[in-house]
Structure 1
Amino acid sequence: MRRIVVKLGGSTAYHAEMREWVRVLAEAPAPLVIVPGGGPFANRVREAQAQMGFSDASAHFMAILAMEQMALALLDMNERFLPARTVEEIDAALARGASPVWLPSQMCYAAADIAQSWDVTSDSLAAWLAGRVDAEALLLIKQTDTFEAQVDIGGLVAAGFVDPLLPTMLPSTTELYLAGPGSLATVSQRLAAGGMPGTEFAARAAERGAA
């Protein structure tokens, strides 16, 4: 079965849908790698930066630690989730039939190809990880379905659904999907059948129309 990276958006943190996403992802037969968003923990970093005036580079690494805080919360929600800090630990968790939840600081601190700014969010980091683990698909879970009005990745960037660096960090061999609360009713069936929930987005509108 093809490997899938799933970014569970921090925007879901205080909503009932989050636990439902956790349940269906933990039960999925497909090999899933879970990437946490920063959620409320990243918001505290933004607030602190406004008050304290530290650099975007420092805020970037603090936001990565915010993702790790969210990861710890997710790990507490399902016993099939296992922590993973490296590609080797991701592979080992998948080999055990578990779903690794990525704690990104170890890999990201040493990565020269990741910009140290707010232009890089957990969406782009999930895309970056997809390239490291040879994922065939990247699924971004949002707390909205309004992205469906967009026709390509450029539109997603312009509308603020993904960060501006995602198009360059997403491997050309990795398909991009977005899913919101409206996808929850069918996500289990789609994953069980080898499909993907949500809406697929190509790099250009023409590519999506030809798919």
Structure 2
Amino acid sequence: MWVVKIGGSLSHDPALRHWLSELCEVGGGRVVIVPGGGDFADKVRQYQGEWNFDDLAAHNMCLLAMTQYALLMQGVSPELVIASSEAKIRRTLRDGHVAVWVPTALMRDTPDTMSNWDTTSDSLAAWLSTMLNAERLIVVKSCPIAADDPLETLAASGVVDRKFVDYVTDANYVVELLDKSNVALMRDRLLNIPVM
């Protein structure tokens, strides 16, 4: 099983349709997509600045922002299956489809280590990868990413969130960051075509 986190920065980019199309074509039964928050989450930041509510409320709102992006993805590619639980994810994959995770089960009544701005959809994708015992986590970003960029550098520059490195340090799955132009590389990896 692969987890593919698609950054919210692609929510207005034609590349999103290409990624979803390729994942649906070659990832059925193997891929779980994690949506970013994108400008849905940016609105949460805006409202928090305006109304000064706590990070717990912002965390719960951001999970709903990710859910909105998941629904957008399904609207673009109706063959995607929305899944909010591990059981639904596994059933979707058994049925040969691609799941899109909506993280509403992570909504909290009291603050915890996830309910802050240091933990975003990047870290939630890593958390889900661990929970599902995934074999690979691919994080898709709209900015250019060099293959040899250390995760610590990417976290320090804001490409991934500050907690992401902590979540993947002892991961038993492959972690790979790709920019939006690398859809063919992802396809080749899924089809087990050696990369020259």
TM-score, L = length of structure 2: 0.90
Distance 1:176 1:42, change over 3 A: same
Q: Which aligned pairs between 1:45-60 and structure 2 lie closer than 5 A? A: 45-60=44-59
Deviation per CA, 1:68-88: give whole Å up to 9, x if none. 010111111223210111100
What secondary structure sits across from 1:106 in the alignment? helix
Q: Which aligned pairs between 1:99-118 and structure 2 lie closer than 5 A? A: 99-109=98-108, 114-118=113-117
| Matching residue's letter, 1:165 | K
Distance (whole Å) between structure 1 residues aligned to residue 78 and residue 159 of structure 2: 31
Shift of 1:109: 3.5
Distance (whole Å) between structure 2 residues aligned to residue 187 and residue 149 of structure 1: 13
Query: Is the 8 Å Cα contact of residues 155 and 162 (structure 2) preserved in structure 1?
Result: yes
The answer for the alignment partner of 2:34 in structure 1 is 35
Distance (whole Å) between structure 1 residues aligned to residue 96 and residue 20 of structure 2: 16
Q: Which aligned pairs between 1:71-86 and structure 2 lie closer than 5 A? A: 71-86=70-85
Q: Which ranges in structure 1 are unaligned for 5 or more consecutive residues?
A: 197-211
The answer for the alignment partner of 2:149 in structure 1 is 151
| Matching residue's letter, 2:87 | E
What secondary structure sits across from 2:81 in the alignment? strand
Distance 1:41 1:73, change over 3 A: same
Query: Is the 8 Å Cα contact of residues 85 and 107 (structure 1) preserved in structure 2?
Result: no
Shift of 1:186: 3.7
Q: Which aligned pairs between 1:100-179 and structure 2 lie closer than 5 A? A: 100-109=99-108, 114-145=113-144, 147-148=145-146, 151-170=149-168, 171-179=170-178
Distance 1:5 1:185, change over 3 A: closer
Query: Is the 8 Å Cα contact of residues 86 and 107 (structure 1) preserved in structure 2?
Result: no
Shift of 1:160: 1.2
Query: Comparing both chains, which one has the higher relative contact order based on Cα–Cα distances under 8 Å and sequence gaps of 6 or more?
Result: 2
What secondary structure sits across from 1:148 in the alignment? coil
State which of 11, 14, 17 in structure 2 corresponds to 1:13.
11
Q: Which ranges in structure 2 are unaligned for 5 or more consecutive residues?
A: none
TM-score, L = length of structure 1: 0.84
Segment of structure 1 superposing worse, 169-178 or 86-95: 169-178
Distance (whole Å) between structure 1 residues aligned to residue 107 and residue 193 of structure 2: 30
Query: Is the 8 Å Cα contact of residues 63 and 103 (structure 2) preserved in structure 1?
Result: yes
User: May I ask how many residue pairs the two structures share in their alignment?
Assistant: 193
Deviation per CA, 1:28-65: give whole Å up to 9, x if none. 24600000001111011111111111111111111111
Q: For the aligned residues, what is the CA RMSD?
A: 2.1
Distance (whole Å) between structure 2 residues aligned to residue 59 and residue 29 of structure 1: 32
The answer for the alignment partner of 1:95 in structure 2 is 94
What secondary structure sits across from 1:98 in the alignment? coil
Segment of structure 1 superposing worse, 183-192 or 50-59: 183-192
